[in-house]
Amino acid sequence: MVMASEHVCPGCPRIGVVEETQRAEKRAQVEHALQRFAELARVTIDEVPRAEPPLRYRTRAKLMVQGTSLGLFREGTHDVVDTVDCPVLAPAVHEVAARVRALLDDPPRDAGAVLRASDRGGALAAVDLREVVDAGVAGLRGHASVLVTFALDREVSEREARAAADAVRNGCASVASVAINLRGRGPQVLGAETRLVWGPGELRDRIAPGAPWTLATHGSFVQAHRGVAAAMHDAIVAALEGAPRVIELFAGSGALALRLASSGARVHAIEAFAPAIENAKRAADAQRIGGLSIEIGDATAALVAMAARGERADAIVLDPPRRGVPPELRAAIAALAPARVVYVACDPETLARDLAHLARLGLAARRLSPYDLMPQSAHVETIAWLEPSAPPPVRVLHEDERLIVIDKDPHEPTTPHPEHPISALARVRALPGAEHAVPVHRLDAGTSGVCLFARRPEHVEPFARALATGRKRYLALVRGVTHGKGIVRRALREEGRDLPSTTRFTRRAIVGGHSLVRAAPDEGRTHQIRRHLASIGHPLLGDARYGHAPSNRHLWERAALDRPFLHCERIELALESGPLVLESGLPADLALVLERLSRS
């Protein structure tokens, strides 16, 4: 058990909490993330296995520099909390951090700006420490050493860089290699350009004794906890036994790809960061591991191209960044018709969003296995095991002898479209007595909510007329803060004619600096709400066509928004038989977006 420390470091907010409790909390986090999605109601969640060791495990530290402090930003600020007694860093990483800290206190003159914080007139903004273990002979941590990268805010001379490298390695045997990196303006700790100053620049690294080695370079990705990462790899290799062709997306420097290939599978590894995956191939060749092919590029573009070529995969493994994967990639995964999919996720919420969509595409997760990849933090890493399974039936809001009204899911068009593997119409026609159904109107693929179908083509006309004069209400999240209410009257061009159009809106709430509005179009012109709200400077968030690309990117990264935020929540029809009110609640994916936005 870890005892409570006096102050809680932002890196380990759960330190001091009994380990069993931490693991139960992590499992509960995953459970909570699944709960909002009806498609995931029957998924079981394993207990979280114990991480060994629970302390002194961290293979990588990106430490910020401020004055003479080396540590992490206090949450929501740019104040650095010094992590001098950090109990989770692996011993070699801890030793090098202590050496850098001592040098910040007393920087050698000839190292110039490299070892002086940028807020003290120097150039140093952060230090990236990456542990490397070639455990081939002496067992894990037998040969631990560290790749040190100084992240600088400005250029320094070669002489200053060399003096800094000498200073950090003198008296610190764990330093294996030193590089400098120019950070650029982005929020990332490291920029694109790294320059080797001293040492080999790349070293063999193993997750576990006996595992194939990979090539570690300055700043390269490594799982935070070797023991837990190795257990995850074991579980994945066992689950994919007998799969002759595996596609691995987001393969990094190939630790898992090499394991899978060395166990006999043919692995095609796709990764955007060229040096990492090129090193995987070099490591495979040097170890005579056959069967590994690599592809450098965007995982979505690569898989969409494979699907378009009609390729198939026995198994697909993916380990994306926190934001999860875009809808096009989920559709391409389903199109490759894999017998097994293994989805490794570091954010259970985006995982749940993606699993719900994959379930509708015919790939269902029955079981999730959460891991304690970063003990003492709130982080939970989860493996989802997916298999082909019939998609859940469409949700019916109302049906009678002539009409079927469904709650349309996002990411599917109303009628079949070549870019989408499934349509609302196809799912409606799978209902009993609905094989001749036709849509009364169309919602865009990205829009969810109330959607009307006539049971037979001859039933469409009266409902189409009732819909044209009926009241329709949508929920939309739009960029910026709108007036409390407003009316947009603006002709919209359709089929070469300008047609008078009116949309009324009321703001319901401000969430994360944006407006949640109820919008009611008097007509039902193509993209009426999207075009009208964009025309007054408040485009829908997530709308790639009429929206604001930087805001869309931000909401995708931070708030898990993967489609236009537009939901048809209510339609009122005056039918000959009497009034009919159809309503749909806020869908789970948009509820998640609002929750994340109000948290941030």
Ligand X SMILES: C[S@@+](CC[C@H](N)C(=O)[O-])C[C@H]1O[C@@H](n2cnc3c(N)ncnc32)[C@H](O)[C@@H]1O
Q: How far is CA 156 from CA 102, 236, 260, in A?
A: 21, 45, 43
String marking each residue 170-209 x if it binds ligand X according to CB under 6 A: ----------------------------------------
Q: How far is CA 498 from CA 269, 464, 467, 525, in A?
A: 51, 21, 21, 11
Among 147, 175, 255, 555, binds ligand X (CB under 6 A): 255
Question: Helix or strand or coil: residue 44?
Answer: strand
Pair 317, 247: CB distance under 8 Å: yes
State the minimum distance, in angstroms, from the CB of residue 221 to ligand X.
5
Whether 271 has a binding-site annotation, put simply, is yes
| 89 DSSP assignment | B
Nearest C-alpha neighbor of 51 from the set 345, 370, 373: 373
Residue nearest ligand X, CB atom distance: 252
Phi, psi for 286 (deg, rounded to 5): -65, -30
Among 145, 253, 501, 503, binds ligand X (CB under 6 A): 253
State the minimum distance, in angstroms, from the CB of residue 395 to ligand X.
32
Nearest C-alpha neighbor of 111 from the set 8, 194, 197: 197
**Span near ligand X by CB under 6 A; candidates 239-247, 249-257, 332-340, 534-542:** 249-257
String marking each residue 291-330 x if it binds ligand X according to CB under 6 A: -------xx-------------------x-x---------
212: contact with ligand X by CB under 6 A: no
Whether 287 has a binding-site annotation, put simply, is no
271: contact with ligand X by CB under 6 A: yes
Nearest C-alpha neighbor of 374 from the set 240, 225, 524: 225
Looking at the Cβ atoms of 240 and 582, the one nearer to ligand X is 240
399, burial (CB in 10 Å: exposed 0-12, middle 13-18, buried 19+): middle
90: contact with ligand X by CB under 6 A: no
Nearest C-alpha neighbor of 151 from the set 188, 102, 198: 188
State the minimum distance, in angstroms, from the CB of residue 509 to ligand X.
33
221: contact with ligand X by CB under 6 A: yes
Q: For tokens 């040492």, what's the residue?
A: 199
Q: Label the pairing between strands 396-399 and 403-408.
A: antiparallel
**Span near ligand X by CB under 6 A; candidates 157-165, 244-252, 477-485, 575-583:** 244-252
Among 83, 174, 177, 223, binds ligand X (CB under 6 A): 223
Question: Buried b vs exposed e over 199-230: b needs ≥16 C-beta within 10 Å?
Answer: bebbbbbbbbeebbbbbbbbbbbbbbbbbbbb
Whether 298 has a binding-site annotation, put simply, is no
State the minimum distance, in angstroms, from the CB of residue 302 to ligand X.
8
State the minimum distance, in angstroms, from the CB of residue 321 to ligand X.
5
251: contact with ligand X by CB under 6 A: yes
Looking at the Cβ atoms of 271 and 444, the one nearer to ligand X is 271
Cα–Cα distance for residue pair 561/549, rounded to 1 Å = 13
Pair 165, 198: CB distance under 8 Å: yes
Looking at the Cβ atoms of 248 and 444, the one nearer to ligand X is 248
- Residues annotated as catalytic (active site), given as ranges: 346
215: contact with ligand X by CB under 6 A: no
**Span near ligand X by CB under 6 A; candidates 134-142, 154-162, 253-261, 582-590:** 253-261
Strand ranges inside 409-484, DSSP E: 438-439, 448-454, 471-478
Cis bond leading into 53, ω under 30°? yes
546: contact with ligand X by CB under 6 A: no
250: contact with ligand X by CB under 6 A: yes
Pair 378, 367: CB distance under 8 Å: no
User: Residue count at the site for ligand X (CB under 6 A)?
Assistant: 16
For binding to ligand X (CB under 6 A), which residues are involved?
221, 223, 250-253, 255-256, 271-273, 276, 298-299, 319, 321
* Known binding-site residue numbers: 223, 250, 271, 319
* Known binding-site residue numbers for S-adenosyl-L-methionine: 223, 250, 271, 319
